[in-house]
Homo-oligomer: A and B are copies of this chain.
Amino acid sequence: MDNPAPPTLSKPREQLDAVVIRFCGDSGDGMQLTGTQFTQSTAVMGTDVATFPDYPAEIRAPAGTLYGVSGFQVHFASRDIMTPGDRPAVLVAMNPAALKTNLPDLEPGGLLIVNTGAFSRGGLKKAGYSENPLEDDTLSPYRVLKLDISKMTLLAVAEFGLGNKEALRSKNLWTLGLVLWLFGRSTKPTIEWLREKFGKRPAIRDSNIAALRSGHIYGETAELPEEIGRYEVPRASLPAGAYRNITGNEAIAWGLLAAAELSGLQLVLGSYPITPASNILHELSKHKNFGVVTFQAEDEIAAVCSVIGASWAGTLGVTTTSGPGLALKTEAIGLAVAAELPLIIVDVQRGGPSTGLPTKTEQSDLLQAIYGRNGDSELVVLAASTPGDGFECAVEAARLATKFMTPVILLSDGYLGNGAEPWKIPDMSSFPRFEPPFRTDPEGYHPFVRDEQSLARAWATPGTPGLEHRLGGIERDYDSGNISYDPENHQRMTDVRAAKIGRVAHDIPDQGISLGEDEGELVVVGWGSTYGSIHQAVINCRDRGLRASHVHLRYVHPLPRNLGDILRGFKRVIVPEMNNGMLSKILRSEYLVDAQGINKVSGQPFKIQELEETIRAELER
């Protein structure tokens, strides 16, 4: 809730609308922390922020290697922004490997801050530099600030008597201090955070604080070259209210807690660790005082089965995973479809196929989520479009799962899961409570009596006197729930299961238009984490007078009932996806519209510019 005034400074700062900065260095250099703290400090000042952490699959790759480079990109602006930005205007490179892998992304004329202290012969060699790029003309297209950050850090923390190696650990904080100064951000939030985090290790706490301050002071006092301006990014005009930073994984975890609170159900999470979904398990494990049970199962199959059991027993059963885990859960999810039990499966997608690229992002589980089960086994699929959106999506997933007694798959991805954004804290009292269809009355009960409206069967939980019943995966009689091999009954049950999912489409809001007219030349249809890039690209196109609209789906199965009409209102439908064309397949099949995919499968999010160009090209065709 603190909101420090920007430090008063003598020279005026250049005002900027938006800045993209990327911190990169060795995985051991603490770049994720630097990025997170910078985000925190700038968000607190009222700018809008979006982040993109990008780190290696190895836990601690050997120091100095190219694949050991870890990066954290922050985009902050005085206007509403949607993505972490296409390319950085400011690059902080802590070692040669980081420079090598990240320099190509830096905007021409961009500002490069480089730690010369790490440019030893060995370091250069590991990065594959035969010449020292600080000494040839590699850096000539950029504005460059060469500083021996290592040395300055050592000086700053000398008084705390740490070993060399330990002392050098603070160099990320020195850097952070400098960058905070550069953008007129206060060190206060970081100092507070360091105090809390290292409260029990005073030497580390104090040296870190000293390094941070020293970097900040360096900016103020050193004679920096003329072209290295100081900048200011004024506060964005975000809607009034309380804000916090949140990652997609946190938002989903908290959304699940909210769903439990709103429904009065106990939350039971059964999960097996897998990148990039593990953090949801970790986050919920911290909150046992919400009555949440978190169970690290022996594998993904046990994880989902345990919570199907827990669902039957009357709790909100949730399992969290990524693609390979979803593949393993498939058979059991089919049972939840057949037994008609509520269940939430969160899939934080990553690069595939197979083990693929665990730390990279992708949207390539969509067809698996919708179709990847034996038999006709429909369920509900939702997708979060921003980190914060995960919160509402989780609540909605729980509402639909319990109202319709069906599994719901909630799709997120690595980009949302780890990326943070300032998020307007929702007012819990604005969420309607919802009542699960529990049954206690034995009169006329059988396990497949249905609600006429929702077609959901009654939820009778073990422990309820008089409602003893048997449930299972063999086809069940429509009128008694007992095993039935009867052909007509199978047809009837197949039909009612499909009809029930059809009813979901009547329960969800009509599809809205995120941006632009509701008919016209071209509509860009997206789902999931591409929201930001698409939205900004469409804004940019519209700013140039092009007639494009943006439609973004939260409900990917069943689709909103008015979607067909919307799409048919446009001459062209284009569908950017981080996969080889999945939603586009569905839209074509469903509405017979000639939806064209824009597909990117590189483990990286779309750049705004890429999309902008495609939209323009499409319109000019």
* Contact present for A352 and B364 (CB under 8 Å): no
Bound together, the chains give a CA A497 to CA B488 distance in angstroms of: 43
Is A323 interfacial (CB 8 A cutoff)? yes
Is A603 interfacial (CB 8 A cutoff)? yes
Specify which chain B residues have a CB less than 8 angstroms from the CB of A349 in the assembled complex: 374
Closest B residue to A339 using CB positions: B354
Bound together, the chains give a CA A372 to CA B372 distance in angstroms of: 4
* Contact present for A488 and B602 (CB under 8 Å): yes
Is A480 interfacial (CB 8 A cutoff)? no
Chain A 461-491 interface 0/1 with B at a Cβ cutoff of 8 Å (1 = within) = 0000000000011110000000001011011
* Contact present for A351 and B490 (CB under 8 Å): yes
Bound together, the chains give a CA A67 to CA B324 distance in angstroms of: 40
Specify which chain B residues have a CB less than 8 angstroms from the CB of A579 in the assembled complex: 376
* Contact present for A364 and B375 (CB under 8 Å): yes
* Contact present for A494 and B601 (CB under 8 Å): yes
Chain A 570-592 interface 0/1 with B at a Cβ cutoff of 8 Å (1 = within) = 00000000011000011011101
Given A331-B327, A603-B485, A603-B490, also A365-B375 (CB < 8 A): yes
Q: How many copies does the complex hold?
A: 2
Q: Which of A90-98, A117-125, A355-363, A528-536 contacts B (4 or more CB under 8 A)?
A: A355-363
Given A485-B56, A488-B602, A601-B491, also A374-B352 (CB < 8 A): yes
Is A335 interfacial (CB 8 A cutoff)? yes
Given A490-B603, A491-B602, A594-B592, also A324-B331 (CB < 8 A): yes
Bound together, the chains give a CA A364 to CA B497 distance in angstroms of: 14
Is A57 interfacial (CB 8 A cutoff)? yes
* Contact present for B473 and A354 (CB under 8 Å): yes
Is A600 interfacial (CB 8 A cutoff)? yes
* Contact present for A373 and B368 (CB under 8 Å): yes
* Contact present for A494 and B580 (CB under 8 Å): yes
Closest B residue to A578 using CB positions: B376
Closest B residue to A581 using CB positions: B376
* Contact present for A371 and B374 (CB under 8 Å): no
Bound together, the chains give a CA A504 to CA B149 distance in angstroms of: 56
* Contact present for A376 and B354 (CB under 8 Å): no
Closest B residue to A594 using CB positions: B592
Bound together, the chains give a CA A339 to CA B474 distance in angstroms of: 36
CB distance from A412 to the nearest CB of B (A): 14
Specify which chain B residues have a CB less than 8 angstroms from the CB of A322 in the assembled complex: 374
CB distance from A324 to the nearest CB of B (A): 5
Given A356-B338, A475-B351, also A604-B330 (CB < 8 A): no
* Contact present for A374 and B353 (CB under 8 Å): yes
Is A326 interfacial (CB 8 A cutoff)? yes
Is A334 interfacial (CB 8 A cutoff)? yes
Chain A 130-155 interface 0/1 with B at a Cβ cutoff of 8 Å (1 = within) = 00000000000000000000000000
* Contact present for A374 and B326 (CB under 8 Å): yes
* Contact present for A371 and B373 (CB under 8 Å): no
Partner of A371, one of B352, B367, B604: B367
* Contact present for B354 and A334 (CB under 8 Å): yes
Closest B residue to A330 using CB positions: B327
Is A377 interfacial (CB 8 A cutoff)? yes
Bound together, the chains give a CA A375 to CA B263 distance in angstroms of: 34
* Most chain B beta-carbon neighbours within 10 Å: one of A330, A364, A497: A330
Specify which chain B residues have a CB less than 8 angstroms from the CB of A498 in the assembled complex: 580
Given A488-B602, A586-B589, also A331-B334 (CB < 8 A): no
Interface residues of A in 244-293 (CB under 8 A from B): none
Specify which chain B residues have a CB less than 8 angstroms from the CB of A619 in the assembled complex: none
Given A67-B485, A357-B490, A376-B353, also A331-B328 (CB < 8 A): yes
Bound together, the chains give a CA A589 to CA B56 distance in angstroms of: 38
* Contact present for A373 and B487 (CB under 8 Å): no
Interface residues of A in 350-400 (CB under 8 A from B): 351-360, 362, 364-365, 367-368, 370-377
Specify which chain B residues have a CB less than 8 angstroms from the CB of A373 in the assembled complex: 327, 352-353, 368, 372
Bound together, the chains give a CA A372 to CA B495 distance in angstroms of: 22
Is A337 interfacial (CB 8 A cutoff)? yes
Bound together, the chains give a CA A371 to CA B331 distance in angstroms of: 15
Specify which chain B residues have a CB less than 8 angstroms from the CB of A365 in the assembled complex: 374-375
Specify which chain B residues have a CB less than 8 angstroms from the CB of A377 in the assembled complex: 352-354
Bound together, the chains give a CA A535 to CA B373 distance in angstroms of: 29
Closest B residue to A587 using CB positions: B589
Specify which chain B residues have a CB less than 8 angstroms from the CB of A356 in the assembled complex: 338, 374-375, 473-475
Given A57-B485, A604-B487, also A357-B474 (CB < 8 A): yes
Specify which chain B residues have a CB less than 8 angstroms from the CB of A474 in the assembled complex: 57, 354-358
CB distance from A352 to the nearest CB of B (A): 2
Specify which chain B residues have a CB less than 8 angstroms from the CB of A326 in the assembled complex: 374
CB distance from A351 to the nearest CB of B (A): 6
Interface residues of A in 407-421 (CB under 8 A from B): none
* Contact present for B355 and A472 (CB under 8 Å): yes
* Most chain B beta-carbon neighbours within 10 Å: one of A56, A334, A488, A491: A334
Specify which chain B residues have a CB less than 8 angstroms from the CB of A372 in the assembled complex: 327, 330, 367-368, 371-373
* Contact present for A354 and B335 (CB under 8 Å): yes
Closest B residue to A331 using CB positions: B327
13 A-B residue pairs with Cβ-Cβ distance under 8 Å, sorted by A, are A324-B331, A324-B374, A328-B331, A335-B354, A338-B353, A338-B355, A351-B475, A357-B485, A491-B601, A495-B601, A588-B588, A588-B590, A589-B589
Please give me the 3 A-B residue pairs with the lowest Cβ-Cβ distance, nearest first.
Answer: A352-B375, A323-B374, A372-B372
Extra A-B contacts (18), CB below 8 Å, given A323-B374, A328-B330, A359-B485: A57-B485, A322-B374, A323-B375, A327-B374, A334-B352, A334-B353, A339-B354, A349-B374, A353-B376, A355-B473, A358-B474, A364-B375, A371-B371, A372-B373, A487-B603, A488-B602, A586-B589, A588-B592
